Chain A
Amino acid sequence: MSALRKPKLKPNKIVSMKEAVQDTVTPGCDLYIEGFTHLINFAAGHEIIRQGIKDLTASRLTPDLVYDQLIEANLVKKLVFSWAGNPGVGSLHGLRRRSQKDSTSRIELEEYSHFGMVSRLLAGSSGLPFWPLKNYQGTHIADSNSKIKTVTCPYTGEMFATVPALHPDVAIIACQRADQEGNAQVWGLMGTQKESAFAAKKVIVVAEEIVETSVIRRDPNRTLVPGILVDHVVHEPWGCHPSYAQGYYDRDNAFYVQWEEISRDPKTYQDYFNEFVFGVNDRKGYLSKLQSGLMDKLKAKPRKCEGVDYGY
């Protein structure tokens, strides 16, 4: 990717999730749906499944349930990752069915550690071809991935591992609030949201809330992704359930536990798709299918900070 980029200045980028996905996620593209437990945008994943966009290379440190759903829907050709599981619960069964010796069909895997994946994004976001890290000596990780190489430090002569820059075609970044230009503010866990947005060719920001630009300007330190990177802004309240948005709603831990049962059998997995993905048109439809009272239960209890003085 060229180091020179065209900043995306446009006053109003708000579109529906359907439009945002149609315009950016194409068959065979390199997709990055960001989120590290926090702010994982399931709404985007479900829309991609509804649109049936195939042959994806899906990258992320922690492919979790939503990536497994893309895999089970047979949309993923290759997975680039560092930890694939259902956090605190168990395995990703769609992936397991496609990654073991006895699997009838297999997807391609390209595997790093978290630090390796982060480093790939750091290189991608800063316009460098690779990133060095003091890692992988003595392990079989580098032996099993030919993209992990080494470099000799020109100052000390020490040898470091290197990983190549990652440039997703599309990064989908969830945030608590953004303005219409896509200036996105995030608090709580920040994952690799900033790095993946800067590394990607196209960026979709998905916000729990759309606010006036003046709200963003009142607290500029909280802006993680600047609007000049952003192609589309989608307003999608509760877009991350069963993941969470700090200050908005809690993680639906019970769902993650239930998922083990749902996903183990391809039949119940398909039943889930039929009800919650294909059985609805959009996120509103999904939310209307949640058990009554669940959203009230998960709604965050307020815990406000006092804010700071930006005066001079």
Chain B
Amino acid sequence: MATNAPVNSTAPITPSERMAVRASLELQDREVVFVGIGLPNLACNLARVTHAPQLFMIYESGTIGTLPARLPVSIGDPTLVTDSLAIVSQADIFQCYLQGGLIEVGFLGGAQVDRYGNINTTVIGDYNQPKIRLPGSGGACEIATHSQRVLIMMRMSPKSFVDHCDFITSPGSKMESNKPGRDLHQSRSALKLPGGGPTKAITDLGVLEMIDGEFTLTEIYAGVTVDQVKQNCGWDLKISSTLKVITEPNPEVISILRNRIDPDRMYL
């Protein structure tokens, strides 16, 4: 990573930094991770320079065993190509790597998520008469379908953590059908979805864990209240009886994030 003039490491820690650090701790050394752009990209690259030096990063653009020398702006940045172990076509990435079952961890985010971890990146409003047209699935649907586990990274608000997704782009633990006559809730196993689905949502207020198919608040950052989390959630969020408080990241890790991983503050 490039080194610019050191940024003040004592400046207050931002929500994005908290999320990147907390998500990085979810990654084990030598795990095969499908890296998304934005905060997941920060989390993965932070893990690689801290506790998971052999983290095996695959990007959707087809780079395998990636070692980016700079923070990529897009998932197709040329820095991902240089020094990677292999470059494969889009056909190979989706058929052999994802559908082939090789991805241990996938990252997703979106405009809306519900209590089951279903994600909407397609439209706000009715599909045919959308209030806001969003980019669409890209590879998200297949990442959610095939990854052994999925980590969601999203900021909490009642508009983004919703009772009901306007559209399900990427499947969670249970899916609500929008077609009459179908079971209201279909589980992943009933639908024969190969991957394990979302296990955690790393947010700017805390961590939600998928317990018995529903997100439950299990961790909050120091200084955040349960009420604050509840106010920013569009459904009646379950709270763990053993709620943990996340300690603030140590200054050394923040300094790595600010000075080494994202010196140009692209995502922080």
Contacts and interface: CB of A to CB of B under 8 A. Distances in A.
Contacts of A115: 94-95, 98-99, 139, 141-142
B21 interface: no
A300 B75 CA distance: 19
Specify the main secondary structure of chain B where it touches its partner. loop
A81 B135 CA distance: 10
Interface in A99-148: 99-102, 111-115, 118-119, 121-122, 133-141, 143-144
B78 A244 contact: yes
Interface in A63-113: 81-85, 87-88, 91, 95-96, 99-102, 111-113
B145 A87 contact: no
Contacts of A37: 61, 74-77
**A84, A91, A101, A112 interface centre (most CB from chain B within 10 Å):** A101
B73 interface: yes
A24 B96 CA distance: 34
Interface string B172-204: 000100110000001010011110000000000
Contacts of B140: 113
B135 A141 contact: no
A235 interface: no
A223 interface: no
A137 B191 contact: yes
A41 interface: no
A269 B73 CA distance: 23
Interface string B50-76: 000000000011110000000011111
B225 interface: no
Contacts of A138: 118, 168, 171, 175, 186, 188, 191, 193
A36 B167 contact: no
B63 to A, nearest CB: 7
Interface residues of A, number: 58
A151 interface: no
Contacts of A82: 136-138
Contact of A135 (B75, B82, B141, B188): B141
Q: Name the interface size band of chain B.
A: 35 or more
Nearest to B119: A139
Contacts of B135: 83-85, 91
A113 B141 contact: yes
Interface in A24-39: 36-38
A113 B138 contact: yes
A191 B94 contact: no
Interface in A221-265: 244, 246, 250-251, 253, 256
**B90, B126, B127 interface centre (most CB from chain A within 10 Å):** B90
Contacts of B37: 87-88
**A62, A85, A119, A256 interface centre (most CB from chain B within 10 Å):** A62
Given A99-B133, A111-B136, 8 more contacts: A82-B138, A83-B135, A99-B130, A100-B132, A138-B193, A246-B78, A251-B73, A256-B73
Interface of A: 36-38, 61-62, 81-85, 87-88, 91, 95-96, 99-102, 111-115, 118-119, 121-122, 133-141, 143-144, 158-159, 187-195, 244, 246, 250-251, 253, 256, 300, 303
10 contacts: A37-B76, A61-B90, A85-B135, A87-B75, A96-B133, A113-B137, A113-B138, A121-B91, A139-B141, A140-B168
Kindly list the 5 A-B residue pairs having the minimum CB-CB distance in the complex, ordered from nearest.
A37-B76, A83-B138, A138-B175, A87-B74, A138-B171
